[in-house]
């Protein structure tokens, strides 16, 4: 765990560094050696113990000086390895060069040529596994942790544009009269909507929820991604002429075929995501106080249950919470539990810290906030209270767990956990949140004849995201399985290009 440095201290430090660099530049342009000597600009964050009880955003964003300092670390490599690491191929060295010059508007416009949601991606992308993984600066320092903070810079210029009211809408081509239906308003769907609208098509986005944004609204918490940022992006799409039909479940309210025939859509994109929560399949999982992370987070995020007294949706009041799983969703759920008043939150994960799929940064934030990690443990049963008192009976009182050790690496190179016989033990808790990932919702495939899916329910597509059904494309988690916001957007981008090509033909 790194030591906490306050935002004020970081800001003062960055100013000092900024002045030094400016002096240097006055004498001569920065050499690669000068650039390599600039320290990585840490992201200011809210004070851990305080923020753990509040819903406000944890990462506070760069100041202007921090952004320019960080941008100056970029070597402007001619071969641009970072761009290849970005699923939507943002012109990274170019936008960073614009930040170096202090031209933030040009920087954000450059990003928006390929990514319409930089304020979101800058916050939630796992950059250390994508663009920053390929960064030359990180390679020279021999750690991805020292790569240029591309994500933080992307976020900075997007926030700068929004908070300075500099947002300009992308140009929209002359109306073609062609209608495109987008099913699902998550990152994949919003990307397709934007790209098809830019091409001049009449786009309608359908979503079962009452607000657009998909996982960016119901899943990722306010403290990682403020909801007004998502709402702003949706507003921008509306200004581009995209229509939104909320409270509309395609497959039930209308089938996909009804949209294509009766409602006259010329093409459709399916971006319904992976929203079917996996459960433990162990005794006691239906006791009171066991929640899927989807339910727990939806209540808090989408339904605003944390605004007790204002929101009608309740959340489950628990003091001692166990979260099962090791991904980002598990981190989100654990940190949310703290914010909903839990005194003690533990993450139970059957492998070790090294195998955790969650981002290192999120794990670090959770740890700073006081989340306890229990590795090499896994529940085999959820235990409930047995009581004459109806208000208590059936409520969770703990889990029975086994201890594990890591066995030999499997075919994929990952070491599988092996249960240690006789290691049963109880861990008390009053709520269990299951964050074991999501499967794909079968509704749309089931109600759409001719739409092929694999045995996991993932829709089968070709290299242009086209499905087995004519006029229908798909992308994002419904194709990939639970993946990332940016991968969903990358697929959306490909699908939109293919749809636009088809509608032009």
- Residues forming the site for other proteins (CB under 8 A): 208-211, 218, 246-249, 252-255, 258, 275-277, 279, 281, 285-286, 288-289, 291-292, 294-295, 298-299, 303-304, 307, 309-317, 390-391, 393-394, 438, 441-443
| Cβ-contact 397, 383 below 8 angstroms | yes
b (16+ CB within 10 A) / e for 59-94: bebbbebbbbbbbbbbbebeebbbbebbbbbbbbbb
Q: Please say whether the beta carbons of 393 and 386 come within 8 A.
A: yes
Whose Cβ is closer to other proteins: residue 54's or residue 285's?
285
Is the Cβ of residue 145 or residue 235 nearer to other proteins in the bound state?
A: 235
Nearer to other proteins, 91 or 302 (CB): 302
Per DSSP (E only), the strands in 448-492 are: 472-474
Q: What is the token pair recorded at 104?
A: 């933030």
- The distance in angstroms from the start CA to the end CA of the chain is 56
Answer yes or no: are the C-beta atoms of 480 and 80 closer than 8 Å: no
Quickly count: other Cβ atoms within 10 Å of residue 505's Cβ.
5
Complex with other proteins: residue 43 or 321, whichever CB lies closer: 321
Shortest distance, position 219 Cβ to other proteins, whole Å: 10
How many CA within 13 A on the CB side of residue 343? 4
Which CB atom, from 93 or from 184, has the smaller least distance to other proteins?
184
Nearest of 121, 116, 220 to residue 169 by alpha carbon:
116
CB of 233 to other proteins, least distance (A): 18
User: How far is residue 297's CA from residue 304's CA, in Å, rounded to a whole number?
Assistant: 9
**Smallest distance from other proteins to CB 262, Å:** 9
The distance of closest approach from Cβ of residue 333 to other proteins in the complex, given in angstroms and rounded to an integer, is 13
Location of structure tokens 């991904």: 327
For the bound state, the minimum distance from the C-beta of residue 140 to other proteins, rounded and expressed in Å, comes to 44
- Nearest to other proteins of 27, 391 (CB atom): 391
Asked whether the beta carbons of 182 and 271 are under 8 A apart, the reply is yes
Ramachandran category for residue 398: left, alpha or beta (phi over 0 → left; psi -120 to 50 → alpha): left
Question: Which residues, including other chains, have CB under 8 Å from residue 365's CB and lie 6 or more apart?
Answer: 45, 48, 58, 331, 335
Residue 43: C-alpha distances to residues 18, 76, 161, 412, 482 (Å): 16, 22, 19, 34, 28
Whichever of 199 and 250 has its CB closer to other proteins, that residue is 250
Minimum distance between the CB of residue 257 and other proteins, rounded to whole angstroms?
12
Give the shortest CB-184-to-other proteins separation in angstroms.
11
Query: In the bound complex, what is the minimum distance in angstroms from residue 245's beta carbon to other proteins?
Result: 9
Enumerate long-range contacts of 13-20, CB under 8 Å, 24 or more apart.
14/41, 14/63, 14/65, 14/66, 14/69, 15/63, 15/65, 17/65, 17/69, 18/65, 18/68, 18/69
Q: Three-state SS for 377?
A: strand
Least CB distance from residue 212 to other proteins, whole Å? 11
CB-nearer residue toward other proteins: 227 or 351: 227
Q: Tokens 């906030």 belong to which residue?
A: 369
Structure tokens given for 100: 């170096």
CB of 154 to other proteins, least distance (A): 29
| Nearest CB to other proteins, comparing residues 77 and 443 | 443
Q: What is the DSSP letter of 145?
A: G
Comparison of 155 and 397: residue with beta carbon closer to other proteins: 397
User: Toward other proteins, which CB reaches closer, 35 or 299?
Assistant: 299
Which CB, 309 or 422, lies closer to other proteins?
309
Least Cβ distance, residue 256 to other proteins (angstroms): 13
- Separation between Cα atoms, residue 413 and residue 406, nearest integer Å: 12
What is the C-alpha to C-alpha distance for residues 23 and 41, in angstroms, rounded to an integer?
19
**Is the CB of 155 or the CB of 227 nearer to other proteins?**
227
DSSP class of residue 395 equals B
> Residue 313 Cβ, how far from other proteins at the closest point, in Å?
4
Nearest residue to 503 via CA among 474, 470, 460, 479: 470
Nearest distance from residue 437's CB to other proteins, in Å? 13
């Amino acid at each position: 765990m790194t030591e906490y440095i306050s935002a004020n201290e970081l800001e003062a430090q960055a100013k000092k560094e900024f002045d030094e660099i400016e002096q240097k530049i006055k004498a001569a342009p920065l050499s690669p050696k000068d650039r390599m000597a600039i320290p990585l600009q840490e992201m200011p964050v809210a004070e851990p113990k305080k923020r753990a009880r509040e819903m406000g955003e944890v990462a506070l964003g760069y100041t202007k000086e921090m952004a320019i300092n960080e941008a100056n670390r970029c070597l402007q490599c001619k071969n641009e390895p970072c761009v290849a690491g970005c699923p939507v191929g943002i012109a990274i060295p170019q936008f960073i060069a614009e930040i170096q010059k202090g031209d933030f508007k040009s920087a954000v416009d450059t990003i928006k040529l390929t990514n319409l949601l930089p304020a979101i991606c800058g916050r939630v992308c796992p950059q250390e596994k994508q663009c920053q993984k390929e960064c030359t600066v990180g390679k020279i320092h021999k750690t991805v942790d020292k790569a240029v903070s591309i994500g933080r810079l992307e976020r900075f210029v997007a926030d700068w544009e929004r908070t300075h009211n500099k947002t300009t809408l992308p140009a929209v081509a002359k109306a073609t009269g062609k209608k495109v239906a987008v099913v699902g308003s998550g990152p994949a769907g919003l990307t397709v909507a934007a790209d098809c609208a830019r091409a001049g098509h009449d786009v309608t986005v359908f979503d079962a929820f009452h607000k657009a944004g998909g996982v960016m609204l119901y899943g990722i918490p306010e403290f990682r991604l403020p909801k007004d940022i998502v709402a702003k992006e949706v507003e921008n799409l509306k200004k581009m002429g995209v229509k939104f039909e909320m409270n509309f479940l395609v497959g039930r309210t209308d089938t996909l075929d009804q949209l294509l025939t009766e409602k006259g859509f010329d093409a459709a994109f399916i971006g319904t995501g992976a929203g079917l929560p996996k459960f433990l399949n162990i005794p006691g999982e239906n006791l009171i106080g066991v929640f899927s992370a989807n339910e727990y987070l939806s209540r808090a995020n989408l339904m605003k249950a944390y605004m007790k007294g204002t929101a009608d949706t309740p959340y489950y009041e628990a003091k001692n919470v166990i979260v099962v799983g090791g991904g980002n969703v598990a981190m989100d759920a654990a940190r949310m539990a703290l914010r909903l008043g839990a005194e003690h939150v533990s993450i139970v994960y059957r492998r070790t810290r090294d195998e955790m799929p969650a981002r290192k940064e999120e794990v670090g934030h959770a740890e700073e906030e006081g989340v306890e990690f229990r590795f090499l443990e896994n529940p085999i049963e959820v235990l409930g209270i047995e009581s004459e008192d109806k208000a208590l009976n059936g409520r969770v009182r703990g889990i029975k767990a086994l201890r594990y050790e890591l066995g030999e690496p499997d075919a994929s190179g990952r070491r599988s956990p092996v249960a240690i016989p006789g290691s049963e033990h109880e861990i008390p808790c009053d709520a269990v949140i299951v964050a074991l990932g999501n499967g794909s919702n079968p509704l749309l495939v089931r109600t759409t004849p001719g739409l092929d899916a694999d045995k996991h329910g993932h829709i089968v597509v070709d290299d242009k995201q086209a499905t087995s059904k004519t006029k229908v494309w798909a992308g994002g988690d419904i194709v990939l399985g639970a993946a990332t916001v940016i991968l969903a957007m990358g697929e959306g981008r490909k699908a939109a290009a293919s749809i636009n090509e088809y509608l032009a033909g």
